[in-house]
Structure 1
């Protein structure tokens, strides 16, 4: 049979446009069934998801659902042959007779000896590999899948760390643990993230990116990344669409129980933590009711050591040196709780109802001690050659700070959704109502600083230097013993400031969705049409309240001495730091003696606040046509209308001098919050705010087409074109800013919102070929290209003018003039079961993504696309036999541009390349009980970021060390 005759090709494609109006063939019977696999050496079976089922006589084809179920409608009476194809096992045929009297209901179990090429493997590393590849093979679009066994086969703490194992994905770290996911080099905020098909809001106030370290990897059934979109998917997955699935009872097919208990050892803190998880499911009421639940909790204490610079590097034409050099020590207690409860009810034979719930709670109790040396106004007197040291004088201009940040940050993400599916003959109607919530809270945070700024009173000699043999790892270098003693003496550090902060960010989304599908034929070719509508109603807000105290009205000066402690800091010489517990206790007992700075309090308590509403209304129409030779074309169009409203604040801090009070001009904002007028010294300062509003409405038309050809032997070919969007991050588009205005009228700001930002748009092309070789190996090669309009990137500028206001320095998101990204992906996996024992248990895999991207930015020209690593690779070697399951994994990514500096100096920030090596071992004591051991980051790979200086020299921006993490314990399954 040819793919299509010319007439059929034209008729099938034309039928896309006529799908909603065309009449199907006369309604006939329905074939329904389920496919399960017998688990070797047990009496149990497991549902097979993604098995391709073909009705040979008509060419109609479908894939089994999560519970193994499949369905064919519009089947005329007669004798038929069903062909079941599953990677790793081969094919199986089943004969079936269809009559006019009743639907055909089949239950097909594949067991060893039934299949053409061998048994179905559903457990262990092999089972995870086969399950993921089969689901990818059956999909209408290009997807990458991680199954639950694959997620649990490596020492990955959370969803982000699990995803870095797949082709084209890299992650961004927080304290050595994966937090955000980058797909094909694009910013994490360009991804959409869902749980069971329902969008998750972001807990952080500055980004749309969902922090995936909040969700424990043990709470999941599978993770899917869609790299091409179909019209029934949300249109804002420009980077990729990530969907996290939790377990249902029908996924397991019967009673199921798993439990895990692990101890967690962190080298950096030399402390033990623990991880406990429990999951269970069962089916009741003669197969009608399914109940599945899970709960996972872990706690670990760890530490990290850090070097950073703040501000640009300066130069007096002899040497580059940082404006401010920081030494940080972090002590963190991290807890993570994930819980899920899923109910499924099969109401008769045609309606399925469900309730899905997921709750995640993530908390960091962090104590960060920091020592700062500020050289901004110091004088560089010369360079000491051996070793190479930049030495500074002007002691009155050198500042040393010793501070402590004591905070507990809590993030929550949870969702609840109810819905169902009803089938009537050839029609399938599904419907869903969902509510999702996320939040980030910092309660009673204390940032306390002690400062020494009178070094010049001690000595007039050379004071202190920076050793710059390696400018990416500078170290303090003392040139004078008097200064050395001064630096280490806590009596020289006097209280400077305490900031007591309470902050809350909340993000809520309510969604409604309904879809109608009709299985039909287009001029002799099987297919379906589908229409649907969806509404997503979102509210996001951030509120920060800060009390800043910069004086102490006690009998004696408040010095560091009573609070001083030391921390282990191997990266440099940092000396005494404040003890968090002692500082908090003293502050709570003596808060009335601290002097509130009304100006700074008013400024910091208003500038970060905002409220935003975003309502999205979508509708789509799509159709699919297939033939009996493995060709399927899926296409259609999606309409998405967006209505965005935001309220923000511009907070102005003004300082100036006067000879007479009448000379003080009107304040800039519309509401005066605080004012301090010193008539004796002729100085004033004040804070005012101006309420800003932004509104934007727009409509996007997003077409897509996906072509899939499955040869039925070993080759699957795909090609796709789709259009997508990404809306600006909330912090970028909300009209908020904090403006500090000095006596000369110049303005300094950390960040200014840009309500004129346009949404980002992409036209994307994908092509790929997958080879399924001998049922034990897999090779995939693909290429992609995205043409990006209005790509958004952060830029840092100095001495610039926006909105008629002159800024000393500002960070602002802008739309780049143009951008594109292109690349290819390669994946290979092999099960060496043809080798002689015991080597037939060896498995190996590798994936490689090469990406190239560029953007045009006004005033600079072509730059690298921000956040894009040109190479991301994974290599895995494992062993799975005799009850022993071993896995060694290597993850690698190259450097990427993190922040663009558009000033003349061009100190762009790059995050350096990184290699991480992990290993896991499992051994089956019995069929149900296994020992488990994991080792993460065994080479103690650091995180490094650098600034590009003149002539390409690399300068310290950030350096962190984490150490390794080990886990050991037991896992039980029944």
Structure 2
């Protein structure tokens, strides 16, 4: 960056910090000034005050309107209705006052109210839909859901996007990741065609925080990211994506923070039951189904609220897949665009993948005069039953291999919260106790490896120019010379439990009629316990003859002249074959997965316990305490400013295994493990400050400008900070983690313009810029000076792999455009149109490590090199468009999702970088209502154009992976009563 730019940013940072301190101090002074108590008005201490509370609803349907603005006319005093349409205005001057109520898509309303000193007035405010040329506008289902999301977005004191509960039910999204992926700036990472994790603003899943009702979900992956495919949209009352955070939110959100709202029990009794069945054209079967129930009611004079939800779902995610590896033949020569690349491995997969989801939730709330208590519980579970037949062609060792594999995976999360809100007029107190548990378990992973040696005829073949689909034609396919090489079984578990306690106190601030807001501070403490355990079992090729004499085998062994077991007895039908991937590739000589499973199920005592997978196990206990102070000030009717600061302190302990391999790691036994390895525990202590300031300026009644400067972080993965350390003398490698590695720190700048009107809806355009420091990368290099690395002298020239902080700053920038509108002001039948469209463009410059030797006067030395490339998982372009239509009881919506090319992984040189190709997908949903909204018939179409997933290596003519999973159709019925 230019020096003048750096100086300007430094001045802006200093100005931000000073502004935050002054405004917080000013807010505190205004809050606690006055003789009549800590919240007396600073400029008129003798004036008497009262309060107004109530709800805002639709005049025709009596539905609550969350996000409606209720303000005292010609002042800065106001509030937005909550998720249940309720609001409270405190410290209003006694006497006759005028309240102004606004909600997008409805006529503005003014009402007169007589405020009584030291009393609370209750109101029920009804708004009517906007009118055009004397014709009443009917707010249809899609438009109402959109309007609610827009109002919440407009009323927020941050920069955020919202998915309403109504919209969640409209779109045919398989899980929560798919629903979030329709918002601006969000891309989806898919597995078997289904969204699994998300990247916000071009930053990978590990850089975002995922919460349920404000409580963090423990990570399911090593990098702390969360698999969202286990969460059904049918369980949610809404989704909030915060692009900028406040000081009262967890700071580990460089990309952003996602909050899933579970909702509670409104006053109106509601029950909803739905059932769907689905067809998948990839397997040509009706095998998908979903049953969903949600009900709520209130008892004891509406004091006790109960909400119960349940979801059962099965979906088939079977697919056909190609995966290829390439090698660089030599260095690039002058005049060449890149070094020549040739294929060395091709893998063909036939994947049978059945996923079952079970979700449930119970929410209880108890309302008192000035208090509200909550007890919420949610459980999400997903089981994946995967059977894969893999056929592999390896040019580097001239082999053809078959890998039948059966995996069962289980992912679950449990979230329990006990919370309270107390409104004691002079202070609002919120407290919360939470326990969250996530498990990611593979209880069954069973496979076998078969191979044919000297399997490929490469004579006269130019591998650099040969199309990928021609490689299988080189195989001899001599099944009589194919052997069983290994029987392998493994199981693993990752478990994380968070225990959290938090307390927030909020005081109203009133300074005359033109300055109002709140002063807020609080703290949080959470304990995070995480461990990982892996166990492996194997029968090696030289041990297989020991199985020949065992009675009761499901087949008769066949052996070659060398006494090695042949593959033939494991093949159910040698004549059976079929094609995959549009008929371009053949699957043949398929080993029986049931026979392979039976080997483990019946003869597991013959398997040797493999100890080396345990070397990646660890235990972690993280204790993070945080505190914050902030003030939100409304200065006049136009300006809102929110400065504050947050501090987080971490004290953590990590335990992992350290030691040395003298021989092949696969050969290590329990005795050697006791001699050469031990557990090591190291601690980590550090604190970080996060100053922030946000502002919103209402230029006109239909336009505002929002700006923010925030500081956020991202903590290292558990594998990077656990004290793992291994020397492999057999392979010449050193692997170690770094307990004292710094977390990432990002300074974020956002500027957004928002336009909103009943006619054109909501239009936003904005830009952001991030400076990310201490990005963690895996340094792979040769050891030149072992002593400087704290290593034995005999490790010279060994290859070391360790995480380190990048000294180079990473810059991420981009812009987002969004338009949400319902055309209810048009004459019938065009007034049923609803449009949602957004586009995002990102650019980043990250510095990636390389290592090479250079000859100098002192001899040959190792040199660290860096090259620039985009951030991994950053899509250059993201676009989403959905067009809906409502007419009477009929509702339909067609949606499009587009993601540009994305850097998938970074290689040691540009020729080995991998990219996910651009992705374009279409979905549709149709719904017909009967009997006054009590019966709904639903049809959902997924991936209408049968779009496949593709990835390439360096250039588009080198496919890295291709996966076909087909289109699907769901038909269902929903009852509401």
Does the CA contact (< 8 Å) of 2:660 and 2:728 recur in 1?
Answer: yes
Q: Quick check: 1:464–1:478 contact (8 Å CA) kept in 2?
A: no
Q: Cα 1:441–1:714, aligned 2, differ >3 Å: closer, same or farther?
A: same
- Cα 1:563–1:808 change in 2 (3 A) is farther
Once the 2 structures are TM-superposed, how far is the Cα of residue 338 of structure 1 from its aligned partner?
Answer: 1.3
Offset from partner CA, 1:871-893 (integer Å, 9 cap, x none):
11111222111222111111111
- Deviation by residue 1:709-742 (Cα, 9 ceiling, x = unmatched): 2356211221111111111111232233666443
The structure-2 alpha-carbon separation of the partners of 1:514 and 1:114, relative to structure 1 and needing over 3 Å to count, comes to farther
User: 1:98-139, CA deviations, whole angstroms, 9 ceiling, x for partnerless residues?
Assistant: 123632122223345899999797752111110101000001
Q: 1:717 to 1:239 in 2, by over 3 A?
A: same
333, 338, 348: which one aligns with 1:327: 348
What is the alpha-carbon distance in structure 1 between the residues aligned to residue 31 and residue 442 of structure 2? 52
Q: Where does 1:263-274 land on structure 2 (aligned, <5 Å)? A: 263-271=277-285, 272-274=287-289
8 Å Cα contact 1:90/1:117 also seen in 2 = no
What is the distance in 2 between the residues matched to 1:954 and 1:840? 47
* Paired residue secondary structure (2:82): coil
Alignment of 1:346-361 (within 5 A): 346-347=367-368, 349-361=369-381
Deviations 1:910-969 (A, max 9, x none): 222211111111112332112111111122222222222xxx675332221111121111
**Matches of residues 701-780 of structure 1 in structure 2 within 5 Å?**
701-711=689-699, 713-736=701-724, 740-742=728-730, 746-747=732-733, 753-780=737-764
Partner residue of 1:364 out of 347, 360, 384: 384
Distance change in 2, residues 1:84/1:121 (3 Å): farther
**Structure 2 counterpart of 1:296, from 293, 308, 311:** 311
Distance 2:365 2:245 in 1: 28
Q: CA RMSD in A?
A: 3.1
Cα distance in 2, alignment partners of residues 738 and 442 from structure 1: 25
Shift of 1:157: 0.8
Three-state SS of the structure 1 residue aligned to 2:225 is coil
Residue in structure 2 matching 1:515, options 504, 524, 531 = 504
- In structure 1, how many angstroms separate the alpha carbons of the residues matched to 2:588 and 2:279? 27
Alignment of 1:339 onto 2:352:
no
Task: State the Cα deviation string for residues 887-912 of structure 1 (Å, max 9, x = none).
Answer: 11111111122222235x75122222
1:311-363 per-residue CA deviation (whole Å, 9 max, x = no partner) reads 7455699974333221111101100111111111102x101001111100011
1:866 aligns with 2:852: no
- Give the distance between the partners of 1:57 and 1:476, measured in 2 at CA: 76
Matches within 5 A, 1:944-955: 944-948=950-954, 955=958
Change beyond 3 A, Cα 1:51–1:455:
closer
Q: Give yes or no for contact 1:603–1:653 (8 Å, CA) kept in 2.
A: no
State the shift of 1:309 in Å. 2.7
Tell me the residue number matched to 2:535. Answer: 545
Secondary structure at 2:746 match in 1: strand
Task: Report 1:501-580 matches (<5 A).
Answer: 501-522=490-511, 525-550=515-540, 551-552=543-544, 553=546, 554-555=548-549, 556=557, 557=559, 558-565=565-572, 568-571=578-581, 572-580=585-593
Alpha-carbon shift at residue 301 of structure 1 (Å): 2.4
Distance 1:717 1:447 in 2: 58
- Whole-angstrom CA distance in 1 between matches of 2:452 and 2:322: 20
- Does the CA-based 8 Å contact 2:137-2:824 persist in structure 1? no
Q: State the match for 1:72 in structure 2.
A: 89
Q: Output aligned runs, 1:426-575, within 5 Å.
A: 426-453=426-453, 455=455, 473-479=468-474, 484-486=476-478, 489=479, 491-522=480-511, 525-550=515-540, 551-552=543-544, 553=546, 554-555=548-549, 556=557, 557=559, 558-565=565-572, 568-571=578-581, 572-575=585-588
- Corresponding residue of 2:961: 958
**Native 8 Å contact 1:468 1:474 kept in 2:** no
- Consecutive unaligned residues of structure 2, counting only runs of 5 or more, are 1-18, 333-338, 550-556, 560-564, 850-864
Q: Distance in 1 between matches of 2:895 and 2:412?
A: 31
How far off its partner does 1:763 sit? 0.8
Tell me the equivalent position of 2:943.
Answer: 937
Distance in 1, Cα, partners of 2:347 & 2:252: 39
The answer to whether the 8 Å contact 2:343/2:463 transfers is no
Cα deviation, residue 10, structure 1: 13
1:673 aligns with 2:670: yes
Counterpart among 809, 814, 833 of residue 823 in structure 1: 814
Q: 8 Å contact 2:52–2:115 — kept in the other structure?
A: no
Q: What's the offset of the Cα at 1:242?
A: 0.5
Return closer, same or farther for 1:73/1:836 CA change in 2, 3 Å cut-off: closer
Q: Residue 668 of structure 1: CA displacement?
A: 15
**Which residue of structure 2 aligns with residue 109 of structure 1?**
126
Contact 2:75 2:637 in 1 (8 A): no
Cα deviation for residue 510 of structure 1 reads 0.4
CA distance in 2, matches of 1:319, 1:574: 30
Q: For 1:574-596, what per-residue CA distance to the aligned partner results, in whole angstroms no more than 9, with x for missing partners?
A: 3222222222123322334x452
Runs (5+) with no aligned partner, structure 1: 1-7, 378-397, 657-666, 676-684
Q: CA deviation at 1:492?
A: 3.0
Query: Measured at CA, do residues 11 and 947 of structure 1 come closer, stay the same or move farther in structure 2, by a change above 3 Å?
Result: closer
Change in 2 beyond 3 A, CA 1:55/1:118: farther
- Whether the 8 Å CA contact 2:106–2:129 is kept in 1: the answer is no
Displacement, 1:474? 4.0
For 2:204, which of 179, 182, 187 is the aligned residue?
Answer: 187
Match of residue 256 from structure 2: 240
Q: Structure 1 pair 159/165, CA: closer, same or farther in 2 (3 Å)? A: same
- Give deviations 1:178-202, integer Å, cap 9, x for gaps: 0111110011111111101111101
Distance in structure 1 (CA, Å) of the matches to 2:57 and 2:404: 58
Deviations 1:847-872 (A, max 9, x none): 11111110234512322222211211
Kindly state the Cα deviation for residue 759 of structure 1 after the two structures are TM-superposed. 0.4
| Contact kept? 1:158, 1:213, Cα under 8 Å | yes
- Would you say the 8 A contact 2:578–2:588 is kept in 1? no
CA distance in 1, matches of 2:798, 2:868: 25
Show the 5 A alignment for 1:87-166. Answer: 87-100=104-117, 102-111=119-128, 124-166=141-183
- Residues 542 and 609, structure 1, Cα contact 8 Å, conserved in 2: yes
* CA deviation after TM superposition for structure 1 residue 448, in Å: 1.3
SS at match of 1:249: coil
Cα separation, 1, equivalents of 2:175 and 2:717 = 24
User: Aligned runs of 1:601-750 on 2, under 5 Å?
Assistant: 601-604=610-613, 606-650=614-658, 652-655=660-663, 673-674=670-671, 688-711=676-699, 713-736=701-724, 740-742=728-730, 746-747=732-733
CA gap of 1:82–1:359, structure 2 versus 1, over 3 A, is same
CA drift at 1:269? 1.8
Q: Would the aligned equivalents of 2:39 and 2:426 in 1 still touch at CA under 8 Å? A: no
2:853 match:
none
Aligned 8 A contact 1:169 1:181 in 2: yes
2:365–2:372 contact (8 Å) kept in structure 1? yes
Residues 1:970 and 2:962 aligned together: no
CA distance in 1, matches of 2:205, 2:912: 23
Q: What SS class does the counterpart of residue 140 from structure 1 fall into? A: coil
User: TM-score w.r.t. structure 1 length?
Assistant: 0.86
- Deviation, structure 1 residue 841: 1.9
CA distance in 2, matches of 1:10, 1:602: 56
Aligned to 1:841: 832
Deviates more, 1:964-973 or 1:110-119: 110-119
Asked whether the 8 Å contact 2:130–2:758 carries over to 1, the reply is: no
Cα 1:695/1:94, change in 2 over 3 Å: same
Match of 2:885 among 872, 879, 884: 879
1:414-451 alpha-carbon deviations (Å, 9 max, x no partner) = 10000111111221011110000000111132121112
Q: Distance in 2 between matches of 1:500 and 1:783?
A: 50
Q: Scaled by the length of structure 2, what TM-score is found?
A: 0.86
Contact 2:527 2:622 in 1 (8 A): yes
Residue 921 of structure 1: aligned partner: 926
